[in-house]
Amino acid sequence: MLDDRGFFGPYQYPLWVLWLVLGLVLLGLVAGWIVFVLRFSARRLPPSARRAAAAAVVDLPSVRLRYLGLIDEVQAASRDGRLGERAVHSRLSLLLRFFVHETAGADTHVMTLADLREADLPRVADAVEQWYPPAFAQQHPGDPEQAAETAREVVRSWS
């Protein structure tokens, strides 16, 4: 039973096969759960198909009017002094990103400037690039009126 080194082999423990099988089953369940989560939590459609599906169900004229109204609200808040230059540029950037997200299905609301360029959205990238310095710099002169007009132009020309 006890060999000369004091080691007990597994055959001497009761139900060792049962514990081995239960451990392997549990390990298999954990691995299966990880595979299931990774497989079914990923987006199923490629980006081009998501854009096509989103564009097919969007009423572009009504979305365009809604966002033009939101841009007007930001511009009015800027004129009234309720929003500073940094806030105006940041909000216009967000509005434009959400407009493109709603109409084209692209995840522009989470994209950096480099991502916008890679996604082949040159008008959006140019407008956001114009708004970056006033939105992020401590002291950078920005023109809220020009920024709002740029946002309007992108929204109006979007097809």
Q: What pLDDT, on the 0 to 100 scale, is given for residue 24?
A: 95
Residue 69 in tokens: 């109204």
**How much is the pTM?**
0.61
Q: Look at the block and give the residue holding tokens 């089953």.
A: 25
Mean pLDDT of 148-159: 86
pLDDT tens for 34-45 read 988 877 775 566
pLDDT tens for 4-56 read 667 666 666 678 788 889 999 999 999 999 988 877 775 566 666 666 665 56
Q: What pLDDT, on the 0 to 100 scale, is given for residue 26?
A: 96
Nearest to 142 by CA among 89, 91, 96: 89
pLDDT tens for 77-130 read 989 989 888 888 889 989 998 998 888 877 888 888 888 888 888 888 888 888
